[in-house]
Amino acid sequence: MYAILDIETTGGKYDEEGITEIAIYKYNGQKVVDQFSSLINPQKEIQPFVEKLTGINSKMLRSAPKFYEVAKRIVELTEDCILVAHNASFDYRILQTEFRRLGFPFERKSICTVELSQKLLPDEPAYSLGKLVRSLGIPFSDQHRAHGDAKVTLKLFELLLEKDVQKTILKEHINTKNPNKVPSKYLNLIDKLPSEMGVYYLHNSENEIIYIGKSNNIKKRVLSHLTGTQRKSIAIQAELSHITFSLTGGELVTLLKEQNEIKNIAPKFNRAMRFRIFPMGIRIDNTETYPKLILEQVKLEEQYISVFKNQKAAKTVLFRWADDFGICTHKTSLSKSDTACFNHGIQKCDGACIGAETPESYQEKIQLLLEDLSYPHEHFLIIERGKKEGESSFVYIENSIFRGYGYHELNHQIKSQNQIEARLIPMENNPDAQKLIRSFLRRKKYNKLIPLSFITTN
């Protein structure tokens, strides 16, 4: 649990400042579950430059509560939470100073979104809150007011959580009530899970991720792990300590996020997907007079026009291509014959198998096949629903290469390539990702496609 925080102060000498406004959003990693915002009467003068910056003046604070009147609410709201703030050392210090004046020790773990942004967004030109969020395309109103700054820090933190592909934040900051005991009953774990689409992470008592999965109903899918009697389910049950999850919104983002994180984290119970989801591939061999389609187990050094879960699925598609594009089955790895193929006898093959068709004519058929398998645009966004209302997810294709995914608010459209790059969670353009994207496009499950010929790099 996180407490996203921002504080405005009177300014003045170090450790003599007073709080003039505070805003806190209690955030469970998926949504805001509680919040508090209030002007505070600091019982001291505000520095003129601070008054000009924030717009908060002494007249506004005369009837505002004093810090001791809201202290209990702040303690309750931040209890068992990690404080998150932009330049967290400042906000945390100010809070500790105020509580120390009341004779109350205030200690919390903290995360600084400046430091986190420098680590996860290394190419940003500046890391002040205003400049950073504008670069990222995050809308920002009420700047230098606690509620406005805290709200935009929350949006920034949501992006940083997505950028944290290795789950460094989760691994370092998740607390468990019984770290050395694997629970025998899971009702308390299941109750906390959403019945929504996303990726979930099963952890052991050492906080290691032992399994990553996806589902359009996380709660239902995890329950199947906890009640399953197969060998893998039993092994997972023996090690399971706690569960975390990430809502994703869109189906394609969910599929891509799962395969990418399994490859990056390599959980012990995801052995089958650590290397590839689709182990069989079809590639083109251009070393012979007629291009030859080779069906084989995927090799790292080769480029494949399509990949498949098994050999049977690959063969089925290869024979469909023969019917749809006039591909000669004797010009594939399925046959070594130099006689006429069956399709030639029924006039579906123009005779590449016996040299009756020119290599140039046959190459045109291969080109038509490649065009059918290509993306609809060279540069485009695939838009799906987001994790919450008023948000969309996007998958970014640049130069026909998959770059990654991200999120943006519907009322604040992405207007430049720089903004896309800044909000992007990068992913590898591997054959598995390409297959998932092409299959998704073929099923037309997206909300819309946006060609990016208008994109500028401002």
Ramachandran category for residue 111: left, alpha or beta (phi over 0 → left; psi -120 to 50 → alpha): beta
Of the listed ranges 37-41, 139-143, 152-156, 398-402, the least confidently predicted one is 139-143
Domain stops at, among 373, 396, 417: 373
Q: Which domain holds residue 291?
A: 280-373
Q: Is residue 457 part of a domain?
A: no
Residues 281-339: tens digit of each pLDDT: 999 999 989 999 999 999 888 889 999 989 999 999 999 999 899 999 899 998 888 78
Q: Is residue 168 part of a domain?
A: no
Domain stops at, among 240, 273, 306: 273
Q: How confident is the model at residue 174 (pLDDT cuts 50, 70, 90)?
A: very low
For the residues 372-389, what does the mean pLDDT come to?
92
Q: Is residue 456 part of a domain?
A: no
Cα dist. 281→10, 285, 299 in Å? 65, 13, 9
Is residue 158 within 8 Å of 187, Cβ to Cβ?
A: no
175 pLDDT above the threshold of 50? no
278 pLDDT above the threshold of 90? no
Q: Is residue 152 part of a domain?
A: yes
Q: Is residue 169 part of a domain?
A: no
Q: Do 266 and 301 lie in a common domain?
A: no
Q: Do 17 and 135 lie in a common domain?
A: yes
Q: What percent of the chain has pLDDT over 90?
A: 50
Q: What is the pLDDT of residue 186?
A: 67
Domain stops at, among 345, 373, 401: 373
Number of domains in the chain: 4
Of the listed ranges 97-111, 380-394, 426-440, the least confidently predicted one is 97-111
Residue 317 contacts by C-beta under 8 Å, 6 or more apart in sequence? 282, 306, 308
Residues 214-236: tens digit of each pLDDT: 999 998 899 888 877 788 888 99
Q: Angle, nearest 10°, between helix axes 218-227 and 231-239? A: 100
Residues 67-119: tens digit of each pLDDT: 999 999 999 999 988 899 998 888 988 998 899 888 888 888 888 888 888 88
Going by C-alpha positions, the residue among 248, 260, 255 that lies closest to residue 385 is: 248
Q: What is the pLDDT of residue 177?
A: 36
| Cα 152 versus chain centre, distance | 19
Q: What is the pLDDT of residue 388?
A: 87
Q: Do 292 and 341 lie in a common domain?
A: yes
Is residue 249 within 8 Å of 384, Cβ to Cβ?
A: yes
179 pLDDT above the threshold of 60? no
Q: Is residue 384 part of a domain?
A: yes
Q: Do 322 and 363 lie in a common domain?
A: yes
Q: What is the pLDDT of residue 171?
A: 61
Going by C-alpha positions, the residue among 288, 287, 307, 357 that lies closest to residue 327 is: 357
SS3 396: strand
Q: How confident is the model at residue 34 (pLDDT cuts 50, 70, 90)?
A: very high
Going by C-alpha positions, the residue among 405, 370, 401 that lies closest to residue 385 is: 405
Q: What percent of the chain has pLDDT over 70?
A: 93
**Tokens, residue 91:** 């906000």
Decide which of 341 and 22 is more confident. 22
